[in-house]
Structure 1
Amino acid sequence: MTTGFWKVVARLILRNKISILIFIILATLLFSSQWKHMRFTFSEANLLPDDHEVNLIYNDFLKIFGEEGNLIVLGVKDSTLFSVEKLNAWNQLSEDFKKFNAVESVVSIKDLQKLVKNDEEQKFDLEPFIKDSLSSMAQINRLKKQLFEQYPFYDNFLFNKKTETVRTAIYIKKDIVNTEARKDFIINELEPLIQDFETATEMDVRVSGMPYIRTLNSQYIVDEIGLFIGGALLVTSFIFFLFFRSFRATFISLIVVCIGVMWTFGILGLLGYEITVLTALIPPLIIVIGIPNCIFLINKYQREVKLHGNKVRSLQRVITKVGNATLMTNITTASGFATFILTESTLLKEFGVVASLSILSIFLLCLLIIPIIYTFLPYPKERHLEHLNKRWIGGFVNWIEHMVKNQKIAIYGTSLLLIILSIIGIYQIKVSGSLIEDMPQDAEFFQDIRFFEEEFNGIMPLEIMIDTKRKKGVMKLNTLERMERLEELINDIPELSRPISVVSLVKYSKQAYYNGNPKYYQLPTRQENSFILSYAKNSSGNADMLKNFVDSTGQYARITTFMKDIGTDNMQRIEEDLLTKINKEFPKDRYDVILTGKALVFQKGTNYLVKNLVISLSLAIFLIALFMAYMFRSFRMIIVSLIPNLLPLLITAGLMGYLGVPIKPSTILVFSIAFGISVDDTIHFLAKYRQELQANHWKIRKSVFGALRETGVSMFYTSIVLFFGFSVFTISSFGGTVALGALVSATLLFAMLSNLLLLPSLLLGLERSIANKDTLREPSINIIPGENDEEDDEEDDSAKKIKS
């Protein structure tokens, strides 16, 4: 965009300031009215495209058996539970849950029933273990003996006989699992009831299950949005004030970024997107990215005022000279986020859309609000301009200049060494597909997850669905035997819990047929099968138990197991072992067997994102290279500009390998975000460098150091703001958000040093091949317009017209 264009923009802004302010107020009110459409996510992050094979398989499973993640479990590991008073209180707690509309069913010790053979009617009757309430220790001891020794069907389902840990299963209605009603039940009904029980009995109740975990995890996300916004405002405004020593400038910047945050929430509401763990990061990101815009604009205004004392002319120059550069840097930053739009993952696509639109919005707000507000304000006081002459910043720039001038070999050598070390580190990076790894590890609900992993081998469901390709094929003995052999493998895998399926129920039926003798807890023989199953078919209670494991046609069966929080490598090993056994036991011409479940879907999603990381980052580099080509019209300059920005990404990836930070959905974002932001410094530096070359008659060394002195301070200011701004995310309870904040902060710090040390060194070292009139002709976009008397005269005339 030409200087003439920006002069027109400056005149339009300064002549129509009241109209523009009214427009901003109306737009802000419009966006605010959309906040009511914002909604927080009630389901896990689905990282895969909707039409991905893994999602399609999972949806097929849900169509047949319904929502699998509707189980909430309560657990108690306390020897005093087995007393008359406390066990009755525990049973009553379970009964109380049955009264809530959100609850479909509750299974507790009091609900357990034993199958009893009824020879007269040739069926099994269901007889409760506890008929009424318990009244003596003798009853409790008899109950413990029956549960822990005589009925293996219930072992590791509602109790762990080794540790005598007891749990209750609450199944909430499937149609509310992914709605606001689930949250209302858990926060307003379930938790208060449990707290009352804990107070009355002095026992510690552990609570888990996917609906509970998702609800409390979402609540943490909601709570942290305010924390992040407050933290980002506090940190960035404090640093801003330290630089400028002006409450007025600080307050103006805060107004701008706060309006930007309001617009971001409005965009979320307008587009109907959910607030997820990713989109929750955008409002504080806008603050962190918006403050550097304010620094560039206000810093330029104060420099101009100090130079010639003409306020209107200074504001014109702010727009004409900094507007273009700020636009280009914001476009490159937005491009880094926009690459996520092309990943096909709904989660990342929404993040990319909102983030890129919000970044362009904050640029527009900065460009409009800051010059307009300053037209109404008096001249800056002398003390507000003192920061322009700070000695310590001058000392920092002098050190940079000394290093570039005298230590080029050391800079090249250090860069090469860092590249080698980083590549070694990259080979040590692991991929993590854990569904709970990034959850707040200090939270009570996370500790409860670990408790249930210890006692019952996990709470994340892994489902195996078997299609026998014929009605009533599940109950064929041949099918049951194949399922049993698969379950034996699952039992041998320490990361998986004991499987639950129709096989266990058929074994229990045989035990009941032989009057409850536990040694007959096994599949019936072919001779026994027909008459034992005829008993089972005549039993209405058995049918109720069966519907959870077999569909209504008898064609589909499910095996449900629960998985510990394990790494991607372990998950892939388990999947391979299971598939090998499945392929061996279930011929493809007779059975279709699928492996699915939320944990598996999430792990596959992580692998999908890792593959897309290369595409996303490559696209960001390509887009930014196009910007460079369009601005500087030089292939060599593209290469020189990309090297200092790729080096920090390599260093960060290497650090992830050395520090054991895995590649996961949160850390995948680091590279595209950091690259999009760090290249901004390169644009400012090279634009000033080209201008210096022209002003200094193509004297390379003089131009490099002139550009370094001019842009070094601004690059330092903005990098410090960005570093501490992104560091705000390290106060998060979510491990992934902490890693994101720390890694982006570190990357941007490396990027600043790389752009201040390596970039000038490359320009000096390669001066003969890149710094000449043919290579750096007049660019397509004049990022920083030159200074000349004719321009000043035009500005004076224009300023008089605006003032009048």
Structure 2
Amino acid sequence: MERLAKTLYRFRFFSLGLVIAITIIFGSLIKIEMDNSLKAWFSATDPDYIVYEDYRDTFGGGRVLIVALRSEDIFSLDVLNFIKQKTEEFEDLLRVKRVHSLANANKVIGTSEGIEINPLLSELEENNLQRIKKHALEDEIFRDYLVSHDGKFTTIVITFEDMASGEIDKSFRQAEEIAYKGKPENIEVFFSGDMRIYFEFNRFTKQNQKIFPLLVIPILCILIFVLFRSLSKVLIILLVIGMSICWALGFYSVLGFTSNVVTGMLIPLVIILSVATSIHIIEYFGEARRNHNKKEAFIKTMTYITIPCFITSITTAFGLLSLSISHIDAVKHFGIGSAAGIVFAFFISIVIVPLFLTLLSSNKKTKKGQGWEHFLNGISKFNERRFKYILVGAVLGFIFFCWGITKVKIETNQIEWFPKKEDCYRSAMLLDKNLSGIGDMEIVLKGEEDALKDPDILKGMDYLSLEIEKLPRVKKVISLADYVKIINKALKEDNPEYYKIPESKSLIAQELFLFTLSDDGRAELDNIVTPDYSQGRIAVKTESMPSQASVILGSLLKKMAKETFSGTGIGVTLTGTTYLYNLMTKYLLESQIRGFSLAFLSVIGVLFIAFWSVKYGGLSIIPNLLPIIFIIGIMGWSGITLNTGTVMVASVALGIVVDDTIHFISRFRKELRSNRSPVQNALRETTASVGKAIIFTSVINVAGFLVLLISGFQPTREFGMLIALTLFFAIIGDILVLPSVIIATR
């Protein structure tokens, strides 16, 4: 390594120029689009996602924004006029496919010549208000979908075409402006739907990318200045951070990845973790300067520090890279991008930091910090006297937190990721309680042409819908069968006895033909059945529920649908946004198990190879595994769920906490070899020399990750808190547990 160190010194200015050139190239390539839609979570090749996209293409799905209005009397003239006016204004928004509300809802009325399909609000006058209210509240389609059963809530459902992130933000703001413009005082407005959620996710993503760096960087600067009492060293580390971010984002752009609420944490992560290598280089350089000039200190530092820092960077990268096997694209891309950022930070650090230390540091040789020396010597003495108690405490903690791991639950309900005080959460809960719920699962039926005109198939559809409505947490079910029953009843002078499926296929065909003679009728059916009647959907609206309950309901719906249409030639598939997020429950569990297993095996494998020793490789497992066990156990005991943020904690934390162990063991072995010291003396020298850097890098990392607690996005907040706690446990593991194990096994 000394030869490499001398080469680095000889070509240090050339290396600097190369790093600057690469930074300029990567900087010019940075172009990352934001995407918080389902595409961010699911691979384009995922079979269930393909089914969902096919469903959306078939039935005209898109981005949905629900504008809910609350008033003591929705059916007053001023409120209905407001609904009518806003429906027309929403139709003029950019890339709107359709708007559905009481203003353009249609009422099927039987006449002597057949049926008429008239707008519900066709005669909006004071003397017609009771008739309008009666029709709306008695209609099986409208009730609890467009209007609540008590007549106090109504919705305007806006369906947009697929659009880019910037367009989502712009369209949502325009919809807000329209909704509040000219609003009477007796009306309250709420927004929900997947477009509202994507808008909020976009907001959190921008927060991760912009606000967090502005908070993290000053905190790091203050802590680094406290550590080194040197402004120049702070500036050196800031340069490393800036270049590392530039390289990471440029590389991320080259891969074509998009930014989302998960990958938005990439910048704060790279900022925090790119500091560690620089601190160890600066600390060792300062130690070398006590007895050597600048050139010798450079060579001494790079001879010793390059391999440990390279190993720590690789193990951190492996921990992050293990996320790349996740089925969830957002997690996968975060793992790849952040792993690359850590490796880039290492190469930038070994070029930038020692070079600028030789240029900016004074010729005066540094002195040893007496305060730190006394503190760390005190820790060494405590370990020597109390190592048995430390190990017993570690074992008891291991048992307690392993028990907590069995209590960890998974949560993929997006609404539960928002704080309860957030307007998005409160609006969703109001819709959930007063209307047809915010969850949706879709049963898609496929058969031959005109198959869905068959009375037996329609009766099966009707029977299934009625049985599903009896299930807990199901709020409303809509299918073609409902329209057929409404049309049949209207043709029989609205006689309730005829609210049923006709026995004749030809009669059903005639009734549907009459209904589709109206453009409005055709448009309504296009949302529920294909024009050739080969495919149809049963829309199941559900209340918000925990992931476990949602998974059970999804499995039950699939089973009931297959049993109902068994032997009929009708194929059954289950899809919908709620169903897809149910699949994330399985994906999260697989990601946790497979990702951490891969991270553990790869990191431990690197340690065994790096130390080339079974003994030291085995020793390194203990202080790194314990913090992970502790933190997952804390999740179980505290009720923190496994979600898109916390699923990354174990793999990311393992890659981080192993760094200090590597520096500790590397220095311990050096002390044993160089001075032929007894184990306890070697431990004292090791703790005194690397203990300061270990504690400070950990404190800096903890402070950086704690900044994430201000996020309004729960997975981000929990990710930051849990990583910070893990690093705290890692300090204990490296400074107390690891030396105690070494003493006990010497």
What residue is the counterpart of 1:799 in the other structure?
A: none
Structure 2 Cα separation of the partners of residues 455 and 494 of structure 1:
16
Deviation (angstroms), 1:373 = 2.4
Select which of 688, 711, 716 maps to 2:695.
716
Q: Is the 8 A contact 1:44 1:214 kept in 2?
A: no
Q: CA deviation at 1:673?
A: 0.6
Matches within 5 A, 1:392-541: 393-439=372-418, 441-467=420-446, 469-517=447-495, 519-520=496-497, 522-526=499-503, 530-531=506-507, 533-539=509-515, 540-541=517-518
How is 1:134-213 mapped onto 2 (pairs within 5 angstroms)? 134-136=124-126, 138-148=127-137, 150-162=138-150, 164-173=152-161, 176-177=162-163, 180-187=166-173, 189-198=174-183, 201=185, 203-213=187-197
* Runs of 4 or more above 6 Å deviation: none
Deviation of the 1:414 alpha carbon? 0.4
Q: Give per-residue Cα distances to partners, 1:296-345, cap 9 Å, x unaligned.
A: 1222222333434x223223333222222211111111111111223354
Does the 8 A contact of 2:104 with 2:119 survive in 1? Answer: yes
* Partner SS state of residue 499, structure 1: strand
Q: Verify: 1:351 aligned to 2:331, yes or no.
A: no
8 Å contact from structure 2 (residues 232, 360) kept in 1: no
The Cα of 1:421 is off from its aligned counterpart by 0.4
Distance in 1 of aligned mates of 2:155 and 2:688: 68
Query: Which residue of the partner structure matches residue 23 of structure 2?
Result: 28
What is the identity, as a one-letter code, of the residue corresponding to 2:503? R
Distance 1:153 1:568 in 2: 28
Aligned residue for 1:352, secondary structure, equals helix
- Relative to structure 2, which stretch is displaced further, 223-232 or 585-594? 585-594
1:649 and 1:280 mapped to 2: Cα distance? 24
Corresponding residue of 1:781 = none
Change (3 A) 1:442 1:380: farther
| CA–CA distance in structure 2, aligned partners of residues 321 and 740 of structure 1 | 34
Between the aligned partners of 2:618 and 2:605, the Cα distance in structure 1 is 12
- Count of residues in Structure 1 that have an aligned counterpart in Structure 2: 743
Q: Against the structure 1 CA distance between its residues 344 and 113, is the aligned structure 2 distance closer, same or farther, given a 3 Å change threshold?
A: closer
Give SS of 1:407's match. helix
Whether 1:611 aligns to 2:590 is yes
**How far apart are 1:420 and its partner, in Å?**
1.0
Tell me the distance in 2 between the aligned counterparts of 1:145 and 1:117. Answer: 16
| Rounded Cα–Cα distance in structure 2 between residues aligned with 1:698 and 1:300 | 21
Contact 2:441 2:554 in 1 (8 A): no
Task: After TM superposition, list the pairs within 5 Å mapping 1:613-652 onto structure 2.
Answer: 613-652=592-631
TM-score normalized by the length of structure 2: 0.94
Letter in 2 for 1:31: F
* 79-88 vs 738-747, greater mean Cα deviation: 79-88
After superposition, the Cα gap between the structure-2 partners of 1:146 and 1:126, relative to the gap in structure 1 and judged at 3 Å, is same
Mean Cα deviation higher: 152-161 or 45-54? 45-54
Report the Cα distance in structure 1 between the residues aligned to 2:52 and 2:73, rounded to whole angstroms: 42
Q: 1:42 to 1:287 in 2, by over 3 A?
A: closer
User: Within the alignment, does 1:94 sit opposite 2:77 as a pair?
Assistant: no
Corresponding residue SS for 1:251: helix
Query: For residue 113 of structure 1, what is the amino acid of its counterpart?
Result: N
Q: In the alignment, which residue of structure 1 is the partner of 2:8?
A: 9
3-state SS of paired residue (1:205) = strand
Q: Please state if 1:570 is matched with 2:549.
A: yes
Identity, in percent, stands at 23
Alpha-carbon distance in 1 for matches of 2:676, 2:169: 69
1:226-251 alpha-carbon deviations (Å, 9 max, x no partner): 11111211221111122122222212
User: How far apart in 2 are the matches of 1:689 and 1:62?
Assistant: 61
Distance 1:560 1:9, change over 3 A: same
The CA distance in 2 between the partners of 1:354 and 1:638, in whole Å, is 28
* Aligned residue number for residue 782 of structure 1: none
TM-score where L is the length of structure 1:
0.88
**Residue 704 (1) aligns with residue 683 (2):** yes
Quote the Cα distance in structure 2 between the aligned partners of 1:679 and 1:423.
20
* SS of structure 2 residue aligned to 1:75: strand
Distance verdict in 2 for CA 1:449–1:503, change over 3 Å: same
Q: What does residue range 322-337 of structure 1 map to in structure 2 within 5 Å?
A: 322-337=305-320
In 2, Cα distance between equivalents of 1:167 and 1:494: 24
CA contact (8 A) 2:459 2:501 kept: no
CA distances 1:148-173 after superposition (whole Å, capped 9, x unpaired): 2x423311121012252111121223
The structure-2 alpha-carbon separation of the partners of 1:760 and 1:152, relative to structure 1 and needing over 3 Å to count, comes to same
d(CA) in 1 for partners of 2:458, 2:659? 64
Which of residues 50, 60, 63 is equivalent to 1:70? 63
**Matched position secondary structure for 1:114:** strand
Alpha-carbon displacement from aligned partner over 1:330-389 (angstroms, at most 9, x marks no partner): 11111111112233543333222211111111112222122222333250779xx67x51
Tell me how large the CA RMSD over aligned residues is.
2.3
Task: Give the Cα separation in 1 of the matches to 2:568 and 2:50.
Answer: 21
Letter in 1 for 2:27: S
Do the aligned residues in 2 keep the contact of 1:177 with 1:211 (CA within 8 Å)?
Answer: no
Unaligned stretches of 5+ in structure 2? none
Quick check: 2:326–2:590 contact (8 Å CA) kept in 1?
Answer: no
CA distance in 2, matches of 1:146, 1:54: 39
Q: Distance in 2 between matches of 1:277 and 1:291?
A: 24
Q: CA separation in 2, counterparts of 1:57 and 1:130?
A: 37
Question: Does 1:301 find its partner at 2:285?
Answer: yes
1:215 aligns with 2:195: no
**Which residues of structure 1 form unaligned runs of 5+?**
768-804
Task: State how far apart, in whole Å, the 1-side matches of 2:160 and 2:264 are.
Answer: 28
SS in 2 for 1:587: coil
Return the alpha-carbon distance in structure 1 between the equivalents of residues 341 and 87 of structure 2: 48
Give the match for residue 797 of structure 1.
none
Structure 2 vs 1, CA of residues 267 and 40 (structure 1 numbering), >3 Å: closer, same or farther?
A: same
- Cross-structure match for 1:794: none
- 240-249 vs 649-658, which deviates more? 240-249
Distance 2:147 2:141 in 1: 11
Q: Aligned match of 2:260 in 268, 276, 293? A: 276
1:484-526, Cα deviation, whole Å (9 max, x unpaired):
1211232123423311211111111122113334x34722342
Deviations 1:120-158 (A, max 9, x none): 3xx4221222225x342x33233222222x423311121
Distance of 2:379 and 2:392 partners within structure 1: 16
2:646, 2:719 within 8 Å by CA — same for their partners in 1? yes
- What SS does structure 1 have at the residue aligned with 2:103? helix
CA contact (8 A) 2:325 2:591 kept: no
Q: Establish whether residue 261 from structure 1 lines up as the match of residue 260 from structure 2.
A: no
1:130 aligns with 2:121: yes
1:738 corresponds in structure 2 to: 717
Q: CA deviation at 1:691?
A: 0.9
CA separation of 1:689/1:483 partners in 2, compared to 1, >3 Å: closer, same or farther? same
Q: CA deviation at 1:47?
A: 4.2
- 1:413 offset after TM fit, Å? 0.8
Query: What residue in structure 2 maps to residue 684 of structure 1?
Result: 663
Equivalent pair of 2:204/2:261 in contact (CA under 8 Å): no
Structure 2 contact 193–438 (Cα < 8 Å) conserved: yes
SS in 2 for 1:740: helix
Match of 1:111 among 98, 104, 111: 104
